[in-house]
Structure 1
Amino acid sequence: MSKRTIVITGGAGILGQAVARRAMDRGDQVVLVDRAPITDQIELAGDVRVGDVDLTDPQSAADAFAGIAEMCGGIDALLNIAGGFVWETLDDGSVDSWERMFAINLRTAVVASKAALPWLMKSDAGRIVNVGAAGALKSDMGMGAYAASKAGVARLTESLSRELLGKVTVNAVLPSVIDTPTNRADMPDADPSDWVAPDDLAAAMLFLASEEARAITGALLPVTGRV
């Protein structure tokens, strides 16, 4: 198979790097896109780094993806990993948190997908893989803003898969708690072996991004470890 160009938003993060390492191991050309200024001095897996990109801004995203496509000769897959989390009750929290979760979890996926579409539709196997959340199916206390934004990612995945049917597949993974240093610090009494290892989640995402997953679109794939 010819080398495919895989664009990873949030590419400098824990999950982004797990995906990047796996994709590079299988011979893909990996492009990291991040809000942070990811310079060559920072040690990261990835062939191309595009930092200082505001994925809530359509123009910033359009400029970044046009540059990527020109540099790499196109785009074959977009993995929307950029996002964030907040645990906050409505009583004690801020209404602004709902807007912030919408912006960083849903708006970034919408903006990045729209910016990448011209090149994904030219690929022989265009793929979009989003990161939703198992908690969006059944939320819990303090999870309202986060779960609502991730429920939006699920609806985006379903609607866009129908819009692009026969042209680009669109799927999402729905992880439970991911085993990251931040989650270990925030939940010191939990057993991380029950959680989802970033590398396992990366494997599921890259399968959905592969040429072999041509028959799968509109799927919301639970990746929940032992939870």
Structure 2
Amino acid sequence: MKGQAIVITGALGALGKVVAAEALARGARVAGIDHAASQLAATADRIELGGVDLTDVAQAKQAIDKAAAHFGRLDALINIAGGFTFETVTDGDPATWQRMYALNVATALNASRAAIPHLVAASNGRIINIGAMGALQAGSGMGPYAASKAGVHRLTEALAAELKGKITVNAVLPSIIDTSANRASMPKAEFAKWVTPKELADVILFLASDAASAITGALLPVNGRV
């Protein structure tokens, strides 16, 4: 991955930080985009763009264009930005469905649309989205989240078909990711069965690499040991 220019959305979150660190360790140049503020000074190999609302089309385009201009190219987009909620359909707030769509689908859609011209110009562009195993069969309380992640799955497939031969588009489908927030919310769970951020990062970066040039439209389960 040496020299590749990669944009990671949600780069300041638990998974985003690990993916960014792993990409940098493999010689990639990384632009991190996040809604949270960033104080990191830009270097030749790394830039962080904080305070970006990726649900806004104009802000997404501005951030992606700035990242591409900083590196002079863009080789891969990794859409990690998103959100989660646990809420039943019967007793929940209808507005939650719109919020989950905005955080999970619209962020990936807006970033992807902004990145496509840059990725096509690179001739070997990659888009990797974050889906969810829970979107394949939703359980109680998972309706709004699972529906939005199912939208990410369909977005992945549609883009892969549209861009075949130009850009590969794939998604990873993790089960529960072993983060401090998930451990706090499920203290009695068997953490050893969960997929670690490092394990998930390895799969994501494989899909961003030249070794995955023949893979597109895939929804790849990353189940840990569940």
Secondary structure of the residue that 1:104 maps to in structure 2?
helix
Which digits, 9 at most, give the CA deviation of each residue in 1:101-159, with x for residues without a partner? 00000010000000111100011310000000000001100000000000000000001
Q: Which runs of 5+ in 1 are unaligned?
A: none
Q: What is the one-letter code of the residue matched to 1:3?
A: G
Matches within 5 A, 1:41-60: 47-60=46-59
Q: Which range is displaced more, 173-182 or 85-94?
A: 85-94
Q: Cα distance, 1:40 vs. partner?
A: 2.1
Matches within 5 A, 1:149-188: 149-188=148-187
Q: Which residue of 1 aligns with 2:4?
A: 4
Q: Cα distance, 1:63 vs. partner?
A: 1.1
Q: Which residue of 1 aligns with 2:17?
A: 17
Q: What is the one-letter code of the residue matched to 1:37?
A: A
Instruction: Say whether the 8 Å CA contact 2:40–2:47 is kept in structure 1.
Output: no
Q: Is 1:30 the counterpart of 2:30 in the alignment?
A: yes
Q: Which residue of 2 aligns with 1:133?
A: 132
Aligned-partner Cα distance in 2 for 1:78–1:144:
27
Secondary structure of the residue that 1:158 maps to in structure 2?
helix
Q: What is the one-letter code of the residue matched to 1:18?
A: V
Q: Cα distance, 1:91 vs. partner?
A: 2.4
Q: Which runs of 5+ in 2 are unaligned?
A: none
Q: Which range is displaced more, 170-179 or 66-75?
A: 66-75
Instruction: Say whether the 8 Å CA contact 2:2–2:26 is kept in structure 1.
Output: no
TM-score relative to the length of structure 2: 0.96
Q: What is the one-letter code of the residue matched to 2:95?
A: D
Q: What is the one-letter code of the residue matched to 1:40?
A: L
Aligned-partner Cα distance in 2 for 1:2–1:206:
12
Q: Cα distance, 1:203 vs. partner?
A: 0.4
Aligned-partner Cα distance in 2 for 1:53–1:193:
34
Q: Cα distance, 1:80 vs. partner?
A: 0.2
Q: Is 1:66 the counterpart of 2:65 in the alignment?
A: yes
Q: Cα distance, 1:92 vs. partner?
A: 2.3
TM-score relative to the length of structure 1: 0.96
Question: After the TM superposition, which segments of 4 or more aligned residues of structure 1 sit over 6 Å from their partners?
Answer: none
Aligned-partner Cα distance in 2 for 1:195–1:166:
35
RMSD: 1.2
Aligned-partner Cα distance in 2 for 1:40–1:123:
27
Q: Which residue of 2 aligns with 1:39?
A: 39
Q: Which residue of 2 aligns with 1:209?
A: 208
